[in-house]
Amino acid sequence: MVGTGAGADAGARTGATTGRNLDRLRAAADRLTGLDVAGWFYGDSIGFEGLLAATDVLDDPRYGAYAHGFLRGWATRAEPYREMDNTVPGRALCRIAEATSDPLLLAAGERLAAHLLARPTIGGVFVSFPRAPLREPYGGAPLPPEERALLDDPGPGAFVDCLHFDPPFFAALGRLTGDAALIDAAIDQASGYVRLLQDPATGLFHHFWLARTGRPYILGWGRGQGWALLGLLDTLEQLPADASGRHGLEDAVRALAAAMTARQRADGHWHAVAGDAASGDESSTAAFMAVGLATGADRGLLDPSVLPAAERAWEATLRSLGDDGVLRDVSAAVWACTQLEHYRRVPTGFTVAWGQGPVLVAAMRWAAQHHPR
Say what the pLDDT of residue 2 is.
Answer: 74
Name the class of domain 10-135+148-368.
mainly alpha
| pLDDT category of residue 14 using cuts at 50, 70 and 90 | very low
Residue 125 backbone dihedrals phi, psi, to 5 degrees: -120, 155
Top pLDDT among 107 and 6 is at 107
| pLDDT category of residue 163 using cuts at 50, 70 and 90 | very high
Has residue 4 got a pLDDT over 90? no
Q: Average pLDDT for residues 314-342, to the nearest whole number?
A: 97
Has residue 285 got a pLDDT over 50? yes
Say what the pLDDT of residue 373 is.
Answer: 36
Work out the mean pLDDT of the chain and round it to a whole number. 94
Q: Average pLDDT for residues 29-35, to the nearest whole number?
A: 97
pTM more than 0.85:
yes
Say what the pLDDT of residue 370 is.
Answer: 45
Q: Average pLDDT for residues 134-163, to the nearest whole number?
A: 96
Say what the pLDDT of residue 18 is.
Answer: 65
Contacts 24+ apart (CB under 8 A), 33-40: 33/62, 33/63, 33/66, 35/351, 35/352, 35/353, 35/356, 37/70, 37/353, 39/70, 39/74, 40/74, 40/84, 40/85, 40/87, 40/88, 40/89
Q: How many CB atoms lie within 10 A of CB 242?
A: 6
Q: Average pLDDT for residues 196-206, to the nearest whole number?
A: 98
Q: Average pLDDT for residues 128-155, to the nearest whole number?
A: 95
Say what the pLDDT of residue 53 is.
Answer: 98
